[in-house]
Chain A
Amino acid sequence: MTRMWIGALCALLPFVAMAGEGRLLATSGATSLEGAAGGGIMPWAVLSGYGERGEWGADAFATRVETGDYRLDAVGVAAAYGNRVEFSYARQRFDLGTLARDLSLPEKTLSQDILGVKVRLFGDLVYDRLPQVSLGVLHKRQRDFQIPALVGAARREDTEGYLAASRLFLGGAFGYNLLVNGNLRYSRANELGLLGFGGDRRDKHSVLKEGSVAILFDPHWALGVEYREKPDNLSFAGESDWSDVFVGYFPNKRIAFVLAYARLGEIATLDEQNGAYLSVQGSF
């Protein structure tokens, strides 16, 4: 994990020299678990970093979610050019904790790699008449497919897409700035893809709705909620929709923190997987 971090930071160094800071504080959001710029459990239409037209922007992030029985770690990097196109890479590692002990599973963790591209189609988060609308594609590859295959997952690799719309309403909530985001995702990933893609119950992509709302109490602090529909492709266990309540802190354009309470529901037969979510993001 540490080595990956160092590698990721080195990969970002070339961008640091020409990084732009053309956008306003906090308008690049945080980094979602899947590596794309956004909230916590879902991407938003915003692009990573603070680059505007003609500028590069980039970020690196690390996130941990502790639910009691499980732990999810995600790290990654993303770079965007011209506030137009974003490229992202994330590695997730899901620690099976209780389940691995109770069932003497052959693996104690499940990992996957996620490559992402996101393009801003039109609009602007703050200024234009239309909200910012972006189209994203995520290619995911499960790295430990033995357990997912055992529980009925159909494939270890898959591609999914999402359409995201985001808007910051200046003074929109009792005078405070209000961020509203809605996504449509086309996916068949089981638990983000950590349990593979498609399954014995269903092996088709589903259209999934995701939404979030946040209030910015000042340029540095945001308080919000997110909700994300999930598919239910495997018969061995149910898969719950996810939600969270988060606080985001943006002290400057270099670093951001997100602390959340995430409700992840049932994951691989264990119910009530709710707990703390902490994310740190560095922007360049």
Chain B
Amino acid sequence: MRAFLIAAMLMLAACAQQPPRDDALYRDLGGREGIAQIVEGMLLNVAGDRRISAHFQKVDIVRLRVMLIDYFSQETGGPQDYTGDTLEESHKGMDLSPTDFNALVENLQAAMSVQGVPVRTQNQLLARLAPKRHEVIDK
């Protein structure tokens, strides 16, 4: 009985501790530096993409760059926390369509390919971001 209690307490203690963050994807993307290059590549692609560049005309790109790097880092298990507005707040009034969102995805894919990110790693990042689409479009 005593052994059982001790075991149960140990398990509770283990549960109470924060599980270590799984940062495998963050590392696969090259850490903060790799993510920074991907984000910069994506923003350059966006600037040259007539389908969606207009949406970014009044945006502070320098700030957006940092926000995106923080956000991607957090979503991939990196140590930095994203401290910006929620996705819903930051896209309010933009009225982005599904087409706009997919255009952004294509620019992100192209940036990752240029950086030599393997397809499977690209898919993992897209899989983390895809469920957030409803927080971005039609706001």
Q: Identify the A interface with B (CB < 8 A).
A: 20-25, 52-55, 83, 126-129, 170-171, 174-177, 217-219
Q: Is the CB of B99 within 8 A of A170?
A: no
Closest beta carbon of chain A to B103's beta carbon, Å = 8
Closest beta carbon of chain B to A273's beta carbon, Å = 36
B80 within 8 A of A: no
Pairs A–B under 8 Å by Cβ, sample size 17: A20-B99, A24-B106, A25-B106, A52-B97, A52-B99, A53-B97, A54-B97, A126-B130, A127-B133, A129-B131, A170-B123, A170-B130, A171-B123, A171-B127, A175-B119, A176-B120, A218-B119
Question: What would 10 more interface pairs be, CB under 8 Å, given A22-B102, A175-B120?
Answer: A21-B99, A25-B106, A52-B99, A52-B102, A53-B97, A54-B99, A55-B99, A127-B134, A176-B120, A219-B109
A217's partner among B103, B119, B124 (CB-CB below 8 A) is: B119
In Å, the complex CA distance between A122 and B105 comes to 22
Provide the residues of chain A in CB contact with B124, threshold 8 Å. 170-171, 175
Closest beta carbon of chain A to B113's beta carbon, Å = 9
B44 within 8 A of A: no
Binary contact track B103-139/A, C-beta < 8 Å → 1, others 0: 1011001000000000111011011001101100000
* A23-B127 contact, Cβ under 8 Å, with A54-B97, A174-B120: no
In Å, the complex CA distance between A21 and B109 comes to 16
* A175-B99 contact, Cβ under 8 Å, with A24-B105, A170-B127: no
Residue of A nearest to B97 (CB): A53
Q: Is the CB of B97 within 8 A of A176?
A: no
B79 within 8 A of A: no
B48 within 8 A of A: no
Q: Which of A21, A170, A177 has the most CB of B within 10 A?
A: A170
Provide the residues of chain B in CB contact with A177, threshold 8 Å. 123
Q: Is the CB of B102 within 8 A of A175?
A: no
